[in-house]
Amino acid sequence: MSVREARPISAVSTETRAEILSLRASGFPPKAIARRLGLAPHVVAETVRAEAAKRPQPAGPEPRCWVSAGWSGSVEAPPDCGWADAGGRPADPALPSLVQVAVFGPHRDPQKLWFCGYLLDVHCLGVKDAMGPRVIPKTTMEDLIKRYFSAFSAPPVPAPVELVRELVFGAVRYAGGLGFSPHPDFRRASCLLGEPPGEISLKFGWHGRPFYVSGPYDHPEAVLRTLRTTVGEGNFSFCVGASPDSTFWDD
């Protein structure tokens, strides 16, 4: 009886591996990544599998998730989706561009949890900040939720992981189409979310177009240059400075 030898993992450069994983985190399927980078499909598949093996492995059910209240005022969700929210759509477009997400995954130690967090600009930049994965004591989860969402005026709402996947990966895809990459830590922090959904039912942007609200760590001129290149003059709005003295508005 012959023994089939295991196929060795194909070597790729550090730069190519980073490109593969970045595209996968943005929702591209392995075959599309292979075509885009000019690689053999099995090379991409092996790289993705090897990275997945390094992720924290859930020790039980799906992760538990919370989203900032009013998220449905920031993105358009199908009316029959059944995803509950505590807020409506604000009249001021400068306010609801940010959505915050917290994800807690089971740990092999029943007294601990994995934690990842994301700050999303769902109208333009996508994932502005990401943290994790971090191991926390299970008893500190409620206190961490309060502190993590303390900048918002209302407590966060529990959310199914299906909604969170659409929010996070959808924000990445939307921003990618505008020319913006997710926060550098997003690839690691996406480990608790599982695979990106094939279809995104949420609609991003403000009334069908990008709306950029500058933050304290942004480079507004660079963002505006990118938008002018990717969507063109007259096809986006912006607000420089998210304060009562902000300067609005249109390109």
For the segment 87-123, what is each residue's pLDDT rounded down to a tens digit?
A: 555 444 445 789 999 999 999 999 999 999 999 999 9
The residue type found at 49 is: R
What is the dihedral sign for C-alpha 144, 149, 151, 154? negative
In a domain, 72, yes or no: yes
Q: Is the domain of 170 the same as that of 245? A: no
Distance CA(143)–CA(149), nearest Å, equals 10
Query: Is pLDDT above 50 for 136?
Result: yes
Q: Is the domain of 71 the same as that of 187? A: yes
Rounded percentage of the chain residues whose pLDDT exceeds 70: 82
In a domain, 161, yes or no: yes
Chain mean position to CA 149:
17
In a domain, 93, yes or no: yes
Q: Is the domain of 92 the same as that of 161? A: yes
CA angle (202, 204, 207) in 5-degree steps: 115
Distance CA(89)–CA(75), nearest Å, equals 9
Q: Is the domain of 39 the same as that of 123? A: no
SS3 content of the chain, % helix, strand, coil (to 5): 35, 20, 45
- Give me the number of domains the chain comprises: 3
**Structure tokens belonging to residue 16:** 């190519």
Sequence-separated (6 or more) residues with CB below 8 Å from residue 140: none
Q: Report the chain's mean pLDDT, rounded to a whole number.
A: 83
In a domain, 1, yes or no: no
Q: Is the domain of 45 the same as that of 75? A: no
Q: Is the domain of 45 the same as that of 88? A: no
Q: Is the domain of 41 the same as that of 80? A: no
Distance CA(183)–CA(144), nearest Å, equals 22
In 3D space, the residue among 62, 61, 96, 66 whose CA is nearest the CA of residue 84 turns out to be 66
Q: Is the domain of 50 the same as that of 130? A: no
Q: Is the domain of 71 the same as that of 148? A: yes
Q: Is the domain of 48 the same as that of 69? A: no
Give the mean model confidence (pLDDT) for residues 48-55: 69
For residue 28, the enclosing domain spans: 14-54
| Of the residues 54, 79, 102, the one at which a domain ends | 54
In a domain, 37, yes or no: yes
Please give the pLDDT value at position 201: 92
In a domain, 206, yes or no: no
Please give the pLDDT value at position 52: 65
The model's confidence at residue 142, banded by pLDDT at 50, 70 and 90, is: very high
In a domain, 8, yes or no: no
Q: Is the domain of 91 the same as that of 149? A: yes
Please give the pLDDT value at position 174: 96
In a domain, 154, yes or no: yes
Please give the pLDDT value at position 50: 78
Q: Is the domain of 182 the same as that of 219? A: no
Please give the pLDDT value at position 5: 37
The model's confidence at residue 133, banded by pLDDT at 50, 70 and 90, is: very high
User: What is the torsion angle, in degrees rounded to the nearest 10, for the CA atoms of residue 210, residue 159, residue 152 and residue 111?
Assistant: -130
Place of tokens 């902000």: 246
The residue type found at 193 is: L
Give the mean model confidence (pLDDT) for residues 139-154: 94
The model's confidence at residue 20, banded by pLDDT at 50, 70 and 90, is: confident
